[in-house]
Amino acid sequence: MIAAVAWAPALRLLRTPRTRMAVAGWFAIALAFGIAARWRGSAHGADHALLGALGPLVLPLLAYVLVGGVVGGHSLSHATAPLVAFGASPARSAAAAILVAAGACVVSGALVAAGVDVLAHGSTDPPLLRDALASAYAGALGGAGYSAWFALGSSFGRRGGGRPVLLVADWVLGASDGAAALVTPRGHLRNLLGGVPPLDLSQRASAVALALLATGWALVAWRRAR
């Protein structure tokens, strides 16, 4: 069972002080952006904080830290090697690591997005509860996309060197509203948060695209690591 081998990546994530401090730091930065938007009295405070800070900066780097914590700063296959050495299936070990990273990123993405929305909520933003739930949904889906994106990066190189490469690629390609943004989490997340969509996609289309892309990236990472 995958659950039987999920304890190792979960404990690695929870027990690494550097990872805990980095995650806490990015949560604090995100909430600070939300508070700053409220203090400025911006009528669209939630939109400004989500699109200006959470989407392009906080969520990708938070997911980067979480995936790095799951793999211990190494490659995906290196992170699962101790379990394999004790007789665990390489396929199950890789799947467990990817699922633990996905769960951490989804929960963290939802919480931080909802928190920023609540703190930054302005007078002309949509009703608070509805807006917070929509933000949590976007953050969760964005977290899923980024977890798979960085898991894929962690499957390349002896120390998972593909992870920083994909971080840069997401920033560069996802910043546009053209076709290049279609293959990165950033472009679709921006659309889900109410920003400029890639190639005028609807939010529903971006949600479906991001879910499919995340599944594909995770499967490729799993096949490479196993």
Instruction: Report the 10 Å Cβ neighbour count for 21.
Output: 11
* CA atoms of 54 and 30, how far apart (whole Å): 6
Q: What is the pLDDT of residues 183-192, one digit of tens each?
A: 999 999 999 9
Q: What is the pLDDT of residues 40-95, one digit of tens each?
A: 888 888 999 999 999 999 999 999 999 999 998 788 888 777 777 777 788 888 89
Which pTM does this prediction carry?
A: 0.94
Total structural domains in the chain? 1
> What was the pLDDT predicted at 90?
80
Along the chain (226 residues), what's the average pLDDT of each consecutive run of 10 residues? 74 90 97 93 88 96 96 84 75 90 98 97 91 97 98 88 95 93 96 95 97 97 88
Q: Are 215 and 148 in contact (CB under 8 A)?
A: yes
Pair of tokens at residue 21 = 């401090």
> What was the pLDDT predicted at 151?
97
Structural domain that includes position 184? 2-225
